[in-house]
C-alpha cells in the first residue's frame, strides 16, 4: 500500500491497516472546515466590513454627542466666567472710587484738625 507521501510505507502493526486512509481523511475534513471558513469569509467579508463600519459610526456618533454636551457645558461655564469678570471689574472700579474718596476724606479730616488746632491756639 502506498500513501500520499513519497516515502516508503512502514510496516503497519496488526490491526492498523486503516491508518493510512483515516489520517488523510481527518486532515482533509479539518482542512475542509478551514476552506469553508475561508470561502465564507470571502463572500461575507464585505458584509462584515460594512457592519464594522456601521458600528464605528454608531460609536463615533456617541462620541460626537458627548463632545457636543461638553461644548454646551463649557459655553455655560464661559458665560458664567465672563459674568464674574464683569462683576470683578465693577468691584475694582468701586474700590478705586472708594480709595480716592477715602484719601479725600483723610485730607479733609487733617485739614479740619489743623483748623481746630489753630482756633484753639487763637482762643
Average pLDDT over residues 41-60: 69
Q: Is the pLDDT of residue 1 over 60?
A: no
pTM of the full predicted structure? 0.44
Which residue from 73, 107, 83, 80 is spatially nearest to 99, judged by alpha carbons?
107
Query: 69 CB contacts (<8 Å, ≥6 apart)?
Result: none
Query: 4 CB contacts (<8 Å, ≥6 apart)?
Result: 24
The CA–CA distances, whole Å, from 111 to 43, 108, 122 equal 102, 5, 17
3-state secondary structure of 16: coil
Cell numbers standing for residue 41 = 469569509
Q: Is the pLDDT of residue 98 over 90?
A: yes
pLDDT digits (tens, 9 = 90+) for 51-94: 767 777 777 777 888 899 999 999 999 999 999 999 999 999 99
Amino acid at each position: 500500500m502506498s500513501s500520499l507521501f513519497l516515502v516508503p510505507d512502514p510496516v503497519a502493526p496488526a490491526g492498523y491497516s486503516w491508518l493510512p486512509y483515516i489520517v488523510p481523511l481527518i486532515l482533509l475534513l479539518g482542512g475542509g472546515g478551514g476552506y469553508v471558513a475561508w470561502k465564507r469569509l470571502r463572500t461575507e467579508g464585505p458584509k462584515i466590513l460594512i457592519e464594522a463600519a456601521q458600528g464605528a459610526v454608531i460609536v463615533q456618533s456617541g462620541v460626537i454627542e458627548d463632545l457636543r454636551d461638553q461644548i454646551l457645558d463649557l459655553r455655560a461655564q464661559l458665560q458664567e466666567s465672563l459674568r464674574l469678570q464683569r462683576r470683578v471689574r465693577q468691584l475694582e472700579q468701586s474700590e478705586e472710587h472708594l480709595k480716592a474718596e477715602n484719601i479725600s476724606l483723610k485730607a479733609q479730616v487733617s485739614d479740619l484738625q489743623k483748623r481746630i488746632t489753630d482756633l484753639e491756639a487763637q482762643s
